[in-house]
Structure 1
Amino acid sequence: MAAATFSLNYIAYKKHIKGLFMATYAIGDIQGCYRTFKKLLKKIDFHPGRDQLWLAGDLINRGPSSLKTLEYIYKYQDSIQCVLGNHDLHFLAIESGQHLSNKKDTFKKILLSPNRKKLVKWLKTQPLFYMDEQLEFAMVHAGVPADWSFRDAVDFSQEVSEAIQSKNSYRFFAQMYNNTPSKWKESLSGIKRLRFITNALTRMRYCFSDGSLELTCKVPPGEQPAELTPWFELPQNLNKGQLIFGHWASLMGQCPIPHYYALDTGCVWGRKLTALRLDDKTIFQCKNID
């Protein structure tokens, strides 16, 4: 039996070396750092059509090449699965006319692009939470509230997606920017319900002991006020499945929960862009060159 297992592993390895083995990779926050993104894709030997790529949100903004990044992802969308991050939603709010850009935003080239409409239409179809039951992995930009299952997160994400894709999406974007309500209740409705779901899945870092969101603290764990706990350390979160997330650059890829993978390693701040190969949990990194 041992010899047979070795033989099968060796065959799989040879197929991978020859470029015949499909792999699934997840990458953290790109934020428009296109040159670094392409360098990392070369490092992992990513081939659209053969491999699959998961992107954990914040595809654009702050980096110098948001348009190029979005156009690449759009071009190879059949091989790429994304979730939306807070910067992606910020862009959609600006594009809809419901919010003003600020000095740090790098959306101008997208807004002036002749491809603007098709890029925006596609971006709006991306979920806030994604789960692949066959791979036994899920992906979100920020995190999952302690009292939600992954299936709950899929369903609640869909509620926001329906609002984003509706003819009246401008109403959602007009009221998206707010930190309340801070605590989940199934009875929440309307914009309050949608806003909590959005904040939890795309902005959350710390929570109070009752699961209430605290959306202003960004320091690394250990430096936060005593009453705050990283969302992933709340007891109800410890026994959930495998989860990929980004958003929290100050974690620098370090998460104490073995089945949670933090992939935002501060690329846009001059640090590194990180990829995880889901098949064997191998980490790949490239230093920012943008």
Structure 2
Amino acid sequence: MAYYAVGDIQGCYDPLARLLEQVNFDPSIDTLWCVGDMVNRGPKSLKTIRLLKSLEKQCVTVLGNHDIHLLAMLYGVREPRPGDTLKKILNAPDASEIADWLRNRPLLAVDPKRKLVMSHAGIYPWWTLEQAQERALDVEKVFQKEYKCIKLLHQIYSNTPSRWSDDLGKVQRRRFTINSFTRMRFCSPKGHLNLVESGFSGKRRKNRLPWFEYDNPSLIDYRVIFGHWSALGLLNTGDFLGLDTGCVWGKDLTMAKIPKTKNQSVTIYQQPNQLGTTA
């Protein structure tokens, strides 16, 4: 019985299938953690989401920004954007089943036994893990009711508020929560999200640091798994495991075998997207 985590797939089904074959993944006993952004920009989004959905409880996946974008398109909230590759899902006979499945995926996954935490973009550094769980659950409960999900999808597309406050209204709280879990990369020392910049040169600016460079004592015992940041590439520090290695841009899809305890090292597997985004 093994645990694996995989980075942003984004419809790159072929390297995912090769990775599962490489590690001899057994869906009857093994578990796959997926950091989100299962779909879009890659060539086989429908095939990818059907595979992950078929794994049932053996697949633990959180929602990424592209997955939420797909939900918004399935419910007619958003129009296709240039570069979207979601047409086959929108026209699929099981589109409504896929929408129901997506609505019931979490923003945050926590395994207290293995000391694992996973979200698509990361954990807002000014939240304790308990607060992060409470705020994720608040949004998840809304998404699970279709009419409430559609209403919230109409309300979330904004970069404001950029900073959490307990005084925020209900819609603003939920918008900030979704942005933190699915879009966050840089934060200011005062807790403001920078949702514009995505590059990563390795240089540090006082008013803009990667979210994982801020201390969060509530996470000290956990390994935090995330994706979303292809410019960052593979990050494997023991405390943080960033798995977005830009597969959809013609690079590698990365999978990690997760040990039983945090003090053990992960094993990294990679498969190239040999045909880039046009496979």
Question: TM-score over 0.5 for the alignment?
Answer: yes
Q: Which residue of 1 aligns with 2:59?
A: 80
Q: Name structure 2 gaps, 5 residues minimum.
A: 260-264
**Using the alignment, how far apart are the partners of 2:221 and 2:10 within structure 1?**
28
**Aligned counterpart for 1:199 among listed residues 179, 204, 213:** 179
1:143 to 1:82, Cα distance in 2 relative to 1, 3 A: same
Q: Please, what is the CA RMSD of the aligned residues?
A: 1.5
User: Larger Rg: 1 or 2?
Assistant: 1
Is 2:117 the partner of 1:132? no
**Using the alignment, how far apart are the partners of 1:62 and 1:168 within structure 2?**
28
Supply the AA of the counterpart residue of 2:144: Q
**Using the alignment, how far apart are the partners of 2:10 and 2:180 within structure 1?**
20
Instruction: Give the TM-score normalised by the residue count of structure 1.
Output: 0.89
Is 2:29 the partner of 1:55? no
How far the C-alpha of 1:171 sits from its partner, in A, is 1.4
**Using the alignment, how far apart are the partners of 1:24 and 1:133 within structure 2?**
14
Is 2:199 the partner of 1:247? no
**Aligned counterpart for 1:149 among listed residues 115, 121, 128:** 128
**Using the alignment, how far apart are the partners of 1:168 and 1:236 within structure 2?**
32
Match of 2:110, SS? Answer: strand
Check conservation: 1:32, 1:61, Cα contact below 8 A. Answer: yes
> Structure 1 residues 150-159 or 133-142, which shifts more?
150-159
Match of 1:93, SS? Answer: helix
Supply the AA of the counterpart residue of 2:186: Y
Match of 2:253, SS? Answer: strand
Q: Which residue of 2 aligns with 1:270?
A: 250
**Aligned counterpart for 1:162 among listed residues 125, 141, 163:** 141
Identical residues among aligned pairs (%):
39
Match of 1:68, SS? Answer: helix
**Using the alignment, how far apart are the partners of 2:2 and 2:216 within structure 1?**
31
Match of 2:231, SS? Answer: helix
Check conservation: 2:186, 2:208, Cα contact below 8 A. Answer: yes
> Structure 1 residues 209-218 or 149-158, which shifts more?
149-158
**Aligned counterpart for 2:152 among listed residues 157, 163, 172:** 172
For residues 84-118 of structure 1, the C-alpha deviation after alignment (integer angstroms, 9 at most, x for no partner) is 00000011111111111112111100010001111
Check conservation: 1:221, 1:230, Cα contact below 8 A. Answer: no
Check conservation: 2:189, 2:206, Cα contact below 8 A. Answer: no
Instruction: Give the TM-score normalised by the residue count of structure 2.
Output: 0.92
For residues 127-169 of structure 1, the C-alpha deviation after alignment (integer angstroms, 9 at most, x for no partner) is 0100011111111100111121222222211111122222222
For residues 203-231 of structure 1, the C-alpha deviation after alignment (integer angstroms, 9 at most, x for no partner) is 00001111110100111153465521100
Is 2:218 the partner of 1:233? no
Q: Which residue of 2 aligns with 1:70?
A: 49
Check conservation: 1:217, 1:224, Cα contact below 8 A. Answer: no
Is 2:273 the partner of 1:288? yes
Check conservation: 1:131, 1:150, Cα contact below 8 A. Answer: no
Q: Name structure 1 gaps, 5 residues minimum.
A: 1-21
